[in-house]
A = this chain, B = another copy of it.
Amino acid sequence: MTNKDLVIAASTIWVVVAAILVMFMQAGFAFLEAGLTRMKNVGHIAAKNVLVLAIASIVYYLVGYGIAFGDGGNGLVGGSGFFPDVDDLLAIGTAPFSWFSTIPAGAGYLFQVVFAAVSLAIVWGAMAERTKLWVYFAFGIVFTLIYSVVSHWIWSPDGWLFSKGMQDFAGSTVVHYQGALAALAGALLLGPRIGKFGADGKPNAIPGHNMAFTTLGVLILWFGWFGFNPGSTLGVISGDKLGYFAYVALTTNVAAAAGALGGLTVSWLVIKKPDLSMTLNGVIAALVAITAASGFVAPWAAIVIGLVAGAIAVLGVLAIERARVDDPIGAVAVHGMAGVWGTLATGIFAVPALAENLATGKGGLWYTGSFDQLGTQALGLVAVGAFTFSASFGALWLMKVTFGIRVDAEVEQAGLDVSEHGMWGYPEFYIPVPGGYGTDSHGHVGVAHAPRSAPPAAVTAATALEPTT
């Protein structure tokens, strides 16, 4: 094998491993979100992330990859590589995905599709516990397309924001901010969960049901983020820096650490308790913020970015709640606000030499005294904000006025697990399962649970038709 081939082989190992780590972030989101919501929805919330990954995988294979990275498009959208076949995917650095020259195009698909799936996973956080099942499919497809377009703008060499030198190393804007914009659109159109705000408009606490799950989710995400950011080097050498991904992993790690400390401290100051869910959200916010910056900044700046992001997680969640928006997971604050912060912070703290080495934009305000890069970053945020929010809002609005996007009150009260899927996520706590908890000589007398007089349509439809003998 030639040395050139060996570099490709090594780069492919790294990128595929990174993609696998990012794929696993779906388990992180599943448990972060399941832990922050209620028992009656646990199966729905967790398993939804399997659907997210499934939908993104298929749609991105069929059209998304071509839209984002296919050769021969323009500044707005890619132009080939739809339904790629075996040869297209084995090719390295040639059409239709000639941008991927250090890895086979198939590895490029793998790495990019898991990013699309992460962005899609974020969307549902703010829409949790009250969205109809069909919306996951319909909007999942729409959003994967929106996502692919924006990722073309910023990451494809043909993209218009790429040409302007926008710095978004691994997607604070592309992945997180976009996901949060759609999440916000969804939360606004859905309205708050029953019981979230009192008659007087005062918010009620609806604490998540399982802090261990949330912790697992956060640690899986931290783990997966070592694929997310360092994998975005797309190879073992970046400019003239060998093993640059290790450096990116370092900035990612210290930022996440600072986010935990920031979230904890600020929650202690503001709400007088070292709140666990906020500390954990601080980690995620910091990881979101460092995502754009991880390849561009010095370690000290990464710590600053993480600390501020940790504070944003706390204050943002409270501010969103004060604005009467019900975002069960805190997606808008943690992915949206921290995504904006990370994108701007890159424009502030980018080290000139690192930007040059990556051949993307220039040094930030701190080093150069120039607002150039910060301006580019802001332009990107505005453009993406306008496009993604309006497209998402429009699509969801259309769905709302046609078939409806919110479940009936009875379904919401009973929980999505039993209403939408026909069975609780923790059945033994709700009904007498043969030989299960609460039957025979076990712990409790199980009771059959169901809305009493007005069972959700979905439940009765299924049960009424069947003879019960």
Contacts and interface: CB of A to CB of B under 8 A. Distances in A.
A384 interface: no
Nearest to A87: B353
A53 B306 CA distance: 14
Given A213-B212, A443-B449, A47 B103 contact: no
19 contacts: A1-B7, A2-B3, A8-B243, A12-B246, A16-B230, A16-B249, A26-B219, A27-B223, A40-B437, A54-B283, A86-B299, A89-B247, A104-B243, A110-B249, A209-B436, A273-B462, A276-B417, A413-B435, A441-B450
A256 interface: yes
A452 B462 contact: no
B9 A299 contact: no
Counting from the closest, the 7 A-B pairs by CB-CB distance are A43-B211, A12-B243, A107-B246, A57-B257, A273-B422, A195-B434, A54-B260
Interface string A48-71: 011101111110010000000000
A433 interface: yes
A245 interface: yes
A2 B444 CA distance: 68
Nearest to A300: B83
Interface in A171-221: 193-196, 204-216, 218-220
Contacts of A247: 86, 89-90, 104, 106
Interface in A1-51: 1-3, 5-10, 12-17, 19-21, 23-24, 26-27, 30-31, 34, 38-40, 42-44, 46-47, 49-51
A378 to B, nearest CB: 25
A244 interface: yes
Tell me whether chain A's interface is mostly helix, strand or loop, or mixed.
helix
Contact of A12 (B53, B56, B242, B447): B242
B51 A279 contact: yes
A121 to B, nearest CB: 11
Q: Among the interface residues A12, A19, A283, which one has the most CB atoms of the partner chain B within 10 A?
A: A12
Q: Which of A16, A34, A219 has the most CB of B within 10 A?
A: A219
Given A212-B425, A222-B23, A298-B85, A50 B193 contact: no
Contacts of A39: 428, 436-437
Interface string A231-264: 0000011000111111101100110111111001
A274 interface: yes
A440 B415 CA distance: 12
A254 B57 contact: yes
A322 interface: no
Interface residues of A, number: 154
A90 B299 CA distance: 12
Contact of A433 (B38, B113, B219): B38
Contact of A1 (B14, B84, B237, B414): B237
| Identical copies of this chain, number | 3
A246 B193 contact: no
A275 interface: yes
A430 interface: yes
A279 to B, nearest CB: 7
Nearest to A213: B212
A351 B86 contact: yes
A217 to B, nearest CB: 10
Given A5-B242, A16-B246, A260-B51, A299 B215 contact: no
Nearest to A211: B43
Contacts of A165: none
A9 B10 contact: yes
Contact of A442 (B27, B40, B236, B264): B40
A154 interface: no
A140 to B, nearest CB: 11
Interface string A400-416: 00000000000011100
Most B CB within 10 A of own CB, among A24, A31, A214? A24
